[in-house]
Chain A
Amino acid sequence: MISARVARGAAGVAGLLIAGELAGITGLIDPDLLPRMSTVLSGAVSLATDGDFLLDVQGTLLVWGLGLLIAVLIAVPLGVLLGSMPRTERAVRPLIEFMRPVPSVVLIPLVTLLIPSDHGVKVTVIVFAASWPILINTMYGLKDVDPVAKDTLRSFGFGDLSILGRVSLPSAAPFMLTGVRLATSIALVVALSAELLAGGSDGIGAYMIRAGAGSRTDLVLAATIWTGVLGLLANSLLLSVQRRAFRWHTVKSGGGS
């Protein structure tokens, strides 16, 4: 079943590539405006061994990973705190709902004024954007903890702190990971946006600006493909962690047993 799904997905991608290629060959689209798919793909292949591009990938991976790490370190404890204090959560909730939809890209000019280093700007904006899904999911996970599970431990004489550590956190962990997975995709989008808008010397975004300035649309598109691949890899990695580590959660919420 999984292989059938993969095959269907691959067919969709192949269809798009063939359509693009045909549009180029038949002259429907001017290859100067949109390069042929074969040109873009061969560009992508050559980028895989291009030292300059790989340095830029490294730069993006660095701010992406650092931003995510800081977001986790801030949002998980905060979510645990708010999720276990319903009154405080109700007081803070409107603020969260107000801040959350603010597009992180609009923060770039402001953050650029405040922080001199361009890496600092990128990481700050990524942290801002990536924290919300982690925070919201952690809070939700903590509120979703089964009261019977908590009562069970309490009736054996365990205190609040033990209940938090032995019931609430393990029970909320799958939600936290879901939050991190959503944040990972968002963080990549924001990392690229920041690289394109905030300038700076490295990153896939910076590479795209340089390639664009040299009218190498094929390489801009090739770099775009690699960005998509990075996002896909990160997402599948976290999905497989989720399936392995939290099999109990999938089984339970899937109505199993």
Chain B
Amino acid sequence: MLDVVNLSHTYGKGPSAHQALGGIDLNVAEGELVCVVGPSGCGKSTLLRSIAGLIKPTAGQIRIRDVAVSDTPGDLAVVFQDYSRSLFPWMTVGDNVALPLRRRGGDRAARRAAAADALEEVGLAAAATKYPWELSGGMQQRVAIARALAYRPSLLLMDEPFGSVDAQTREDLEDLVLKVRELHRMTVLLITHDIDESVYLGDRVIVLKKSPATVVGELSVKLPFPRDQIATRELPAFVHLRAEVGRLVRGKDPFRPFQA
């Protein structure tokens, strides 16, 4: 569904140039939830911004459903970490969710109905007439998720979506993503620096190393669904996977206890 081929990006020119991405290859299959994990400042966001068409990568190719992406694809949605900056404070929650639907055509009533459905899915049916800043941080991020859902994107990109909320809210939002993704068979690429989160959410985890970012490993997460914050995280397979991902992130060799 999404193919990223040999993607490179360099900020600036000359001696002060900084190469953020150093030839990244990855793909996401239809309906798959892939987590990209890597240390802070490794270029994860540059990767996501390239896919979203917000920056033009210096080299490489991005294809969505075999169509090369130039500019903004227009058929994807992004959930940013900074919900308070990404939602528009001068609009009600309902209008925020309905706004992108203008790109989809349809009349005002249809947009409102779609927005109301999406808000209901994230458990905020009653908040449509409120303003974003009247809601808690976790609720604001739910609104941002509802906005992405209402748009019915063929690809949902999430950039550290739970980086600014407390631990309890984070777990709730993780389960919300799993739920809506299951419901709509959505294709999701989620970027995080949290190793546990990448394993808990992902069908597959892609690990990046930093400066410039390159793919150092890829793990298939074969944990049963539905996932559960307590039960899934105590499975031996979960513990093993998070150790593997952790080693890749830290750039250490696999731990081999029986070899001297």
| Residue from the list B84, B90, B100 in contact with A156, Cβ < 8 A | B100
Interface size on B, residues (CB 8 A): 29
Q: Cβ of A249 and Cβ of B89 under 8 Å apart?
A: yes
Cα-based distance from A152 to B83 in the complex (angstroms):
10
Contacts of B238 in A (CB 8 A): none
Closest chain-A Cβ to B46's Cβ sits at a distance in Å of: 13
Q: Cβ of B86 and Cβ of A166 under 8 Å apart?
A: no
Q: Cβ of B90 and Cβ of A248 under 8 Å apart?
A: yes
Main secondary structure of the interface of A (DSSP, over half): helix
Closest chain-A Cβ to B92's Cβ sits at a distance in Å of: 10
Taking the complex as formed, is A149 at the interface, i.e. its CB lies under 8 A from any CB of chain B?
yes
Contacts of B49 in A (CB 8 A): 151
Q: Cβ of B85 and Cβ of A149 under 8 Å apart?
A: yes
Residue of A nearest to B135 (CB): A257
User: When A and B form their complex, what is the total count of cross-chain residue pairs whose Cβ atoms lie within 8 Å?
Assistant: 68
Q: Cβ of A155 and Cβ of B89 under 8 Å apart?
A: no
Residue of B nearest to A252 (CB): B89
Contacts of A246 in B (CB 8 A): 90
Taking the complex as formed, is A171 at the interface, i.e. its CB lies under 8 A from any CB of chain B?
yes
Q: Cβ of A170 and Cβ of B88 under 8 Å apart?
A: yes
Residue of B nearest to A256 (CB): B133
Interface residues on A, range: 20 to 34
Contact with A along B45-74 (1 / 0, CB 8 A): 000010011100000000000000000111
Taking the complex as formed, is B243 at the interface, i.e. its CB lies under 8 A from any CB of chain A?
no
Cα-based distance from A2 to B157 in the complex (angstroms):
47
Cα-based distance from A16 to B111 in the complex (angstroms):
61
Taking the complex as formed, is A167 at the interface, i.e. its CB lies under 8 A from any CB of chain B?
yes
- Docked complex: A149-166 residues within 8 A CB-CB of B: 149, 151-158, 166
Taking the complex as formed, is B177 at the interface, i.e. its CB lies under 8 A from any CB of chain A?
no
Closest chain-B Cβ to A76's Cβ sits at a distance in Å of: 17
Contact with A along B80-96 (1 / 0, CB 8 A): 10101110111000000
Contact with A along B121-158 (1 / 0, CB 8 A): 00000000001011110000000000000010000010
Q: Cβ of A149 and Cβ of B88 under 8 Å apart?
A: yes
Q: Cβ of A155 and Cβ of B78 under 8 Å apart?
A: yes
Q: Cβ of B88 and Cβ of A257 under 8 Å apart?
A: no
Q: Cβ of A248 and Cβ of B76 under 8 Å apart?
A: no
Q: Which of the listed residues A154, A173, A257 has the most CB atoms from chain B within 10 Å of its own CB?
A: A257
Residue of A nearest to B151 (CB): A156
Contacts from B to A (Cβ < 8 Å): 49, 52-54, 72-78, 80, 82, 84-86, 88-90, 99-100, 103, 131, 133-136, 151, 157
Contacts from A to B (Cβ < 8 Å): 146, 148-149, 151-158, 166-167, 170-171, 173, 246, 248-249, 251-252, 256-257
